[in-house]
Amino acid sequence: DQQVKQNSPSLSVQEGRISILNCDYTNSMFDYFLWYKKYPAEGPTFLISISSIKDKNEDGRFTVFLNKSAKHLSLHIVPSQPGDSAVYFCAASANGQNFVFGPGTRLSVLP
Amino acid sequence: EAGVTQFPSHSVIEKGQTVTLRCDPISGHDNLYWYRRVMGKEIKFLLHFVKESKQDESGMPNNRFLAERTGGTYSTLKVQPAELEDSGVYFCASSQRQGGTEAFFGQGTRLTVV
């Protein structure tokens, strides 16, 4: 039973437009959420995080939104750049325990 | 500051052999995690060390996998004997605190069992 779901295996966006990656979770005990970006043959790289006490966190072109009642979070990238093309993983943890990862969404930003 | 480093970067072994993967976390990070990604699927948790102690090893698939973290510094993950389904990319990550902070990942070790 997947606790963290990313229902879109892939997403294509035109350069300059907004990329929206979605993530849903089932465990209401999750209190910390992260997004990681992964290029081929590299380890996941931390991108942005959000605590359950917040509903939005912004860092440059990246914004994460958290809707606790819907158990849903999303990552917005604007404007999207070709270098953003990668696999994006949503991850969550509860009470400082291990991180649970979603299956990932492959983002392709087309020039 | 050096990041999380993993050795080797890739390993090809025959079924039944033994392989040991090593992870050097970021200096000062008490928390060390091992994860595995099989067949390009999701990244699955294996276990979590806090210093030298195993905090959570609920993700370890079976007793062919043995993880150690002597002295609370680097960690090793041994697979003995290796099976075909053990093939995948093994990631190590470390974090400073146990909760509310990101974990930093190594580049992974790609293990291929033939």
Q: Where are the domains of chain B?
A: 5-113
The domain spanning residue A46 has which CATH number? 2.60.40.10
Strand A62-67 and strand A72-77: the pairing is: antiparallel
Query: Residue A103: is the preceding peptide bond cis (ω within 30°)?
Result: no
The phi, psi pair for B82, rounded to 5°, reads: -75, 145
Confidence of residue B71 (pLDDT cuts 50, 70, 90): confident
Q: What is the mean pLDDT of residues B49-66?
A: 94
Nearest residue to B20 (alpha-carbon basis) of B6, B32, B30, B33: B6
User: Shortest Cα distance from B69 to chain A (angstroms)?
Assistant: 17
Confidence of residue B42 (pLDDT cuts 50, 70, 90): confident
**Chain B closest CA to A90's CA: distance in Å?**
10
Closest CA to B101 of A108, A32, A58: A32
pLDDT band at B102 (very low <50, low <70, confident <90, very high): confident
pLDDT for A92 equals 95
Low-confidence ranges of chain A (pLDDT < 50): none
Nearest by CB: A101 against B6, B43, B101:
B43
Q: Is the minimum CB–CB distance between B77 and chain A shorter than 8 Å? A: no
pLDDT of B11 strictly over 80: yes
In angstroms, the Cα distances linking A12 to A7, A15, A20, A93, B70 are 14, 10, 10, 28, 45
Lowest mean pLDDT among A59-63, B20-24, B56-60: B56-60
pLDDT at B101: 82
Which of A3, A51, A53, A49 minimizes the C-alpha distance to A26? A3
Are B99 and A32 inside 8 Å of each other by CB?
yes
> Taking 80 as the threshold, does the pLDDT of residue B99 lie above it?
no
What residue in B sits closest to A4 (Cα-Cα)? Answer: B42
**C-alpha pair distances (Å), A8 with each of A64, A105, B92:** 17, 6, 26
Q: Does domain B5-113 have CATH number 3.40.50.300?
A: no
- Interatomic CA distance for residues A99 and B60, integer angstroms: 14
Count how many pairs of residues, chain A against chain B, have C-beta atoms within 8 Å: 61
**Residue-number span of the structural domain to which A30 is assigned:** 4-110
Residue B4 contacts A where some CB pair is shorter than 8 Å:
yes
Collect all residues from A whose CB is shorter than 8 A from any CB in B.
2, 31-32, 34, 36, 41-46, 49, 51, 89, 91, 93, 95-104
Q: What is the pLDDT of residue B1?
A: 61
DSSP string, B49-95: EETTEEEE-TT--STTEEEE-GGGS-EEEEESS--GGG-EEEEEEEE
Among the partner-chain residues A2, A46, A97, the one whose CB lies closest to the CB of B104 is: A46
**How close is the nearest chain B Cα to the Cα of A101, in Å?**
6
Chain A CB contacts of B41 under 8 Å are 103
Query: The tokens of A16 are what?
Result: 């300059």
Query: Cβ of B48 under 8 Å from any chain A Cβ?
Result: yes
Q: For tokens 């020039």, what's the residue?
A: A111
Contact A44 B44 (CB under 8 A): no
What domain count does chain A have? 1
Mean pLDDT of chain B: 93
The more confident residue out of A87 and B101 is A87
